[in-house]
Structure 1
Amino acid sequence: MKNTSLKITSALLLASALAWVPAHAQQFKAGFVNTDRILRDSNMAKSAQTRLEQEFSRKEKEITTLANSLQTASERFEREATTLSESQRTQRQRTLLEQDRELQRKRREFQEDLNARKTEELSLVLERANAVVQQVAEREKYDVILQEAVYVNPVHDITDKVINALNASR
């Protein structure tokens, strides 16, 4: 019984609030920003991506070369295994295993370093983008700017304004 009266009271409060909204709806201004688009399309984000690629390309090539070398050595071992003595076979297997561990370690370190730097770069972009969002919101008198939503009417999407302002500020 309490649950039913609570639902009725909630419904009445919601109805009275909604009756009030049309009279004051013109005063409330909301916008939406697609953060993923900012991180993908802004010049600042593209520059960050280019810096990361330049910074990590040499290390990535080294790892690729090491992986190719290990693959070649492994294939050669497969071909020659039947002709090797037991001790030679065991020694080459150990060597291949050590090389594989080293490769996996380098890949892991590379990925950790890349992720850390990517986080640094993207946080700088987001910090600047949030400042630009705030400037746009204040200039155009928005009451609220949302960054995540299930659905947004494209009329309220100000992502292009933010990207243009972000690009112009560099």
Structure 2
Amino acid sequence: MAAVLGVSAMAAAPIAQAQTKIGFVSTERILRDSQPAKAAQSKIEAEFKRRDDELQNLANKLRNDAQKFDKDAPVLSESDRISRQRQLSDLDSDLQRKRREFQEDFNRRRNEEFSAIVEKADAAIQNIADNQGYDLIIQDAVTVSPRVDITDEVLKALGG
């Protein structure tokens, strides 16, 4: 009987050794919580601070001018009313254009920075996979067991 158990245990050993080691990494957490992501976010915010302030000032000017126009409209001549409406419309169009340009530039810069972070994260993930013998590491899944989530290890490898 002991010999049978010994043979079956030996037969099960290759099966246990052949199991696939799987890991999971949350790209969202990497791009939100990693030290490089936080540094990139601060860098981008600093780069765009002046333009954001200009947009805020322009929006405030438009709001103040519109309020002044609403107050003055009853006593303005027809030509002055039309002229000020045109000015408000032009200012609004300018604001909308600048907001659109700002958003496009901001998104482009953020994508550039995050692309570099993803490259660093991919290198860290590859290093972890090589050093710890992972057969498969999945990024972004619908549901994941915490026991295969190696996101914290990747965050540590990225310095945060």
Q: Map 1:106-121; keep pairs closer than 5 Å.
A: 106-121=98-113
2:131 is matched with 139
Q: Map 1:91-170; keep pairs closer than 5 Å.
A: 91-167=83-159
- In structure 1, stretches of 5+ residues that fail to align are 1-21
Residues 2-21 of structure 1: CA deviation (Å, up to 9, x unaligned) = xxxxxxxxxxxxxxxxxxxx
In angstroms, what is the RMSD of aligned CA positions? 1.6
The alignment of Structure 1 onto Structure 2 pairs a total of residues equal to 148
Residues 36-94 of structure 1: CA deviation (Å, up to 9, x unaligned) = 11111110000000000100011000000000001000000001100000000000000
2:24 is matched with 32
2:4 is matched with none
2:57 is matched with 65
TM (norm. structure 1) is: 0.84
Between the aligned residues of both structures, percent identity stands at: 50
Superposition misfits of 4+ residues, deviation over 4 angstroms: none
Q: SS at the partner of 1:167?
A: coil
Residues 128-164 of structure 1: CA deviation (Å, up to 9, x unaligned) = 1001000000000000000022211100000000010
Which one of the candidate residues 51, 62, 67 is aligned to 2:43?
Answer: 51
- In structure 2, stretches of 5+ residues that fail to align are 1-13
Counterpart amino acid of residue 73 in structure 2: A
Alpha-carbon deviation of 1:27? 2.9
2:79 corresponds to 1:87: yes
TM (norm. structure 2) is: 0.89
